[in-house]
Amino acid sequence: MNLFLKSTLALLFFALNLGLSAQADADRLLGVWEPSNGKARVKIEKIGPKYYGKIVWLREPLDPKSQQPKTDKNNPDEALRSVPLKGYRLLKDFTYSGNNAWAEGSIYDPENGSTYSCTITMKDPNTLDIRGYIGISTFGRTDVWKRLQIPAK
């Protein structure tokens, strides 16, 4: 094998490893997370190249008035107000931007029907800073989410 071929193969191997490592970095976001208020648990999953978070557990799953499962009753689109809150995708369209951060996504607040721009920063493997904002990131609010530890069977 000549030197050129060896160098090319080594470069290809390096590039492949780099790609796999970036993918693994990005996928650390996957899992079930709990916001600081403890009212819900959110499962972050990957669909295509993006990350989405849906509600999988609610501390109070029933509407206090109707005693029926809560729905997205504040959605600005009337046709979608019957979407169940349990299962609702409130984190949408995040892509990994490197340095433990996921950006270009949005977060939906079902309590007022508003959607905010959002960035996610992983402080450590079990802690996320979720920052929702309008316009520029300076004017926003950060909530700390903790990874739900699922005991091994």
Partner 1 sequence: MKQLALFLSAALFLTMGCNTSSKTSSYTLSDVVFESAGPYFEGANTFTLSHTIDPSLLADSAGFSKERIASVRLRSAVISPAPGQSLDLFRSFSLALMGNASESLTAAVLNPLPANTGQAKLGVSAESDLKAFFSEGTFYLVLDADLKADHEETLTLLGNLVFEITY
- Binding segment for partner 1 (CB under 8 A), chosen from 22-30, 86-94, 118-126, 135-143, is 86-94
CA–CA separation, 30 vs 46, rounded Å? Answer: 7
> In this chain, which of 1, 2, 48, 60 binds partner 1, going by CB under 8 A?
48
Which listed residue (15, 80, 134, 144) binds partner 1 by CB under 8 A? 80
Q: Is 72 helix (H, G, I), strand (E, B) or coil?
A: coil
Nearest to 148, CA basis, from 2, 62, 38, 18: 38
32 binds partner 1, rule: CB under 8 A: no
Stretch of 5-13, 18-26, 88-96, 134-142 contacting partner 1, by CB under 8 A? 88-96
DSSP state of 84: B
Tokens of 23: 């993918």
Among 33, 90, 92, 96, the residue binding partner 1 under the rule CB under 8 A is 92
Q: Is 42 within 8 Å of 29 (Cβ atoms)?
A: no
47 is a contact residue toward partner 1 (CB under 8 A): yes
H or E stretch including 41? strand 40-47
> Of 100-119, which residues contact partner 1 (CB under 8 A)?
106
CA distance 22 to 12: 15
User: Which residues of the shown chain bind partner 1 in the complex (CB under 8 A)?
Assistant: 45, 47-50, 52, 54, 56, 71, 77, 79-80, 82-84, 86-89, 92-93, 106
